[in-house]
Homo-oligomer: A and B are copies of this chain.
């Protein structure tokens, strides 16, 4: 008997018929003798609907007091889901009980709309499991010390599931989603993309941070910190496929390198075109220049991704970084009005039509020449590299947006990731 946590996304919970399918799948696992905890998201579209109502009413300035109320409103979507799923489970003849975040309780800090989990009290859940019940817990939310409802931010249900699995020391946390696993790259761009049977935690972390939307990055960090075995698999298989088959499907995110069967140097190609590039030219190269440029950007609550500073030339340097495309005009204004004069820069230039392409692989640690092979491949396709950034297990480049598909396909082939074309 294992203790298993299932997490179902909004699409899997999107209608009463789909909820019934989820209940049948969970019932199958429960009847196989497993202790089951389920963390469902809100029904698809529900969180957006609720926040749209709030947006129509909210003041221009969204204070913490307003954010507290946004969380109170948004948290109801998951509360509806846990209630409905528990009802469906009981209709399947399975004893089930639902809990909202505050009922577990899942303690968080008080950062409304983006709270962090601090502690999960597992006593109530363990007692229910011991009594043979399936426990259904709201994703996305918790409660702070003041008894206020908090939410974890978009995609927070993944984090909730992993945190619950960590608190209960679950044997595995299964994330059911609308894709059937983690791929070497996006199959919509590269038909030859292959599903990975396993991927290391660190690779997954890089892929998530690079824009692969399979899992919320915070949930991967959490899984890494508490070493929760995590599996991403499809919720669209028939609910009644044999449990042994289902238990091995999807992609296992693992912490033990010995378990990793695939020895490819590069595990996957990640990419995104959500970013924009900004370059400050001719900045006098004095101590503190990076802070004088990025300090005001951080203060304006703008997230910076890649940061590149070239070596100094004649006491002047060029400084580049990328921000989310939505923040691009605001960042440019900020730099042109305040920062450029303060730093004595000669020019501020920018380009929103870029993309970032990254190769990710734990094998890069022990293999030389991986980055060089990436650069050569792009060069052979005539693609100019604008920025480069590296970490231990990934190399990212910024290129012109229009070459994105070409670059991804070429790299996928060059690193021998191509499999049989996926069936459409």
Q: Which of A's residues lie within 8 Å of B, judged by CB?
A: 16, 19-20, 23, 50, 53-54, 56-59, 63, 65-66, 68-70, 72-73, 75-76, 79-80, 82-84, 86-88, 90-91, 93, 95-98, 100, 102-103, 147-149
Contacts and interface: CB of A to CB of B under 8 A. Distances in A.
A236 to B, nearest CB: 20
Contacts of A56: 16
Contacts of A103: 147-148
B72 A100 contact: yes
Nearest to A73: B83
A84 B57 contact: yes
A79 B73 contact: yes
Most B Cβ at <10 Å: residue of A58, A65, A80, A87: A87
A148 B79 CA distance: 13
A121 to B, nearest CB: 12
B50 A80 contact: yes
Given A76-B79, A84-B73, A57 B102 contact: no
Contacts of A98: 69, 72
A19 to B, nearest CB: 6
Given A82-B72, A83-B69, A57 B95 contact: no
Nearest to A72: B83
A131 to B, nearest CB: 12
A197 to B, nearest CB: 35
Contacts of A66: 87, 90
B76 A72 contact: no
A63 to B, nearest CB: 7
Contact of A72 (B57, B58, B79, B91): B79
5 residue pairs, one from A and one from B, having the closest CB atoms: A73-B83, A76-B76, A72-B83, A59-B91, A16-B56
Contacts of A76: 76, 79-80
A148 to B, nearest CB: 8
Contacts of A96: 65
Nearest to A56: B16
A70 B54 contact: no
8 contacts: A54-B84, A57-B84, A59-B87, A65-B96, A69-B87, A72-B86, A73-B84, A102-B102
Contact of A57 (B59, B88, B148): B88
Contact of A91 (B58, B84, B91, B93): B58
A159 B349 CA distance: 64
A56 B17 CA distance: 9
Contacts of A72: 79, 82-83, 86, 98, 100
Nearest to A124: B147
A96 B86 CA distance: 34
Given A54-B83, A54-B87, A103-B147, 17 more contacts: A16-B53, A23-B57, A50-B80, A54-B84, A58-B91, A59-B90, A59-B91, A59-B93, A63-B90, A65-B95, A68-B97, A69-B83, A69-B84, A69-B90, A72-B82, A73-B84, A79-B79
